Amino acid sequence: MANKHAIVIGGSMAGLCTARVLSDFFERVTVIDRDSFPEGALERPGVPQSRHVHALLARGRYELDALFPGFERVMLERGAHLINFSMDFAALRAEGWAPRRPDSITTLFASRLLIEAIVRELLRKVPNVQMAERTDAIGLVAARDGALRVRGLRVRSRDGGGEREIEADLVADVSGRGSKSPAWLGELGLEPPAETVVDSYAGYSSRWFNAPAPERRPREWWWKGIWLDPKIPEHMNAGVLFPLENNRWLVTLAGIGKQYPPNDEQGFMAMLDRLRSPIIAEAVRLAEPISPVYSNRSMANRWRHYEKWKERLGGFVALGDAVCAFNPVYGQGMTSGAVSATILRESLKQHGASSPELPPSFFKALARFAAGPWSMATGADFAVPETQGERPRLSWLFGPVMQRIMAAANDDDVVRNRMGEVFNMLKPPAAMFAPPILGRSLLATLRRARRRKAQPEAIPAMPPPAAELARS
């Protein structure tokens, strides 16, 4: 190989995927992380969000299995659940309970801890990848040889030894929302990229439970998981119950528009009874709490626009949340990180690792992908009146249309299947606005309006029995 060494800053999901891609193009790859990596599915300080609900979308499941062959098999062996959301979740949407009908999409449900542990375990088997744990990245090293180019990274061990430089032919910043690259670029005399921030002032609170044994569960509990949407503006809180490995549940409350969920145990349990349905509250009364309440309020959407960056810096790329971070309530992060690494692979194939065209070409390709999940996340956030940020020019049109499409999905299987494909990143958001989908959504809206005119619709407190949902 002409390229000897690549450094990945950050050993979270996107960083692990990036390291796997770079291992095919460099003699050595070093993953720098400030934490010690645990053996197994255990927490680590650098990923506090691992305590909350994570969704591995269908696209992410396929991407991870391609990057790390055997990933899905090992996940299932370690207790992950393979679930058809449309069939196995009791889902209360804004317009009422979603009908229970299977679709073609299955997803893996497990803790973020297990997903990351298995990816890390499989990456350790790649012989030219090494982990530099308990190491802080503190700055880029660059030199000018006609053009400015990164030549390495300054680091400092948390176990002593002072600052040192590690030479590298490529440095990839995959350090997440807290990326220091904008400041490091300033130290090199470069203007950092412009940023766009959209903040709906959302927050999470989560608690873990041992689920009751099957024989203790009421017969009417047909569901494997629960999803309760907010209904803006009267209900600004949502709740989910996800099944995890080892017969555990993870219950997360979300609040938008500064309606943050409580971060204490008494307040958390009390709010479960105040959601649009008491179904989660009824479920956890038979469960055993096994954790305190964890809270997170750093949930703004943030896009650092490297694709519009006027500066040129060879040997440097950034991806994952270090470039584009989404409100995590929409579950796009892990999947977007895996896709970003795959996009880097295609750019490396096209340009080569040492080409000065690699960074700008990659950033543009990454932006084309990120525009999809960004539009979905910020479009949903702009439905919240308190959201701060620059609204897209046509948001006044697309927002209401999207709400009609989502409402129609409760009544129309074709619309619901398309929505599932888009939400799982199997199709781009534009597929939601295809003429056949718009037409079916309009008809469903008219039918719903006629039903409401005949008799006002009430949202049931509990989901209908499985047989009734199957008939609806």
Question: pLDDT tier at 464 (50, 70, 90 boundaries)?
Answer: confident
Residue with tokens 């040889």: 145
pLDDT of 391 > 90? The answer is no
% of the chain surpassing 90 pLDDT: 76
What angle is formed at CA 84 by the lines to CA 464 and CA 211, rounded to 5 degrees? 70
pLDDT at residue 45, as a whole number: 77
Which range has the worst mean pLDDT, 166-175, 378-387, 463-472?
A: 463-472
pLDDT at residue 396, as a whole number: 67
Domains along the sequence of the chain with CATH:
5-43+125-198+300-380 (3.50.50.60), 203-296 (3.30.70), 395-471 (no CATH)
Higher pLDDT, 422 or 459: 422
Write down the pTM of the prediction: 0.93
pLDDT at residue 3, as a whole number: 77
Tokens of residue 108, six digits: 């893996």
Mean pLDDT of the chain: 91
pLDDT at residue 388, as a whole number: 94
pLDDT of 288 > 80? The answer is yes
CB distance 172 to 317 below 8 Å: yes
DSSP conformation letters of 412-447: -HHHHHHHHHHHTTSS-GGGGG-HHHHHHHHHHHHH
pLDDT at residue 399, as a whole number: 76
Crossing angle (nearest 10°) for helices 413-423 and 395-408: 120
pLDDT of 468 > 60? The answer is no
pLDDT of 70 > 90? The answer is yes
Residue pLDDT, tens place only, 331-361: 899 999 999 999 999 999 999 999 999 999 9
pLDDT at residue 164, as a whole number: 95
pLDDT of 458 > 60? The answer is no
pLDDT at residue 35, as a whole number: 92
Average pLDDT of the residues in 423-445: 92
Q: One-letter amino acid identity for 250?
A: L
pLDDT at residue 66, as a whole number: 97
Question: pLDDT tier at 452 (50, 70, 90 boundaries)?
Answer: low
Question: pLDDT tier at 466 (50, 70, 90 boundaries)?
Answer: low
Q: How far apart are CA 467 and CA 472, in angstroms?
A: 9
Average pLDDT of the residues in 306-333: 95
% of the chain surpassing 70 pLDDT: 95
Residue pLDDT, tens place only, 210-239: 999 999 999 889 999 999 999 888 889 999
Average pLDDT of the residues in 240-249: 97
Phi, psi dihedrals of residue 64, rounded to the nearest 5°: -65, -35
pLDDT at residue 459, as a whole number: 54
DSSP 3-state percent helix, strand, coil across the chain (nearest 5): 40, 25, 40
What angle is formed at CA 340 by the lines to CA 164 and CA 302, rounded to 5 degrees? 80
pLDDT at residue 471, as a whole number: 45
Higher pLDDT, 95 or 133: 133
Which range has the worst mean pLDDT, 178-192, 299-313, 391-405, 407-421?
A: 391-405
Higher pLDDT, 86 or 469: 86
Burial of 371 (0-12, 13-18, 19+ CB in 10 A): middle
pLDDT of 27 > 70? The answer is yes
Average pLDDT of the residues in 199-209: 95
CB distance 347 to 20 below 8 Å: no
pLDDT at residue 253, as a whole number: 96
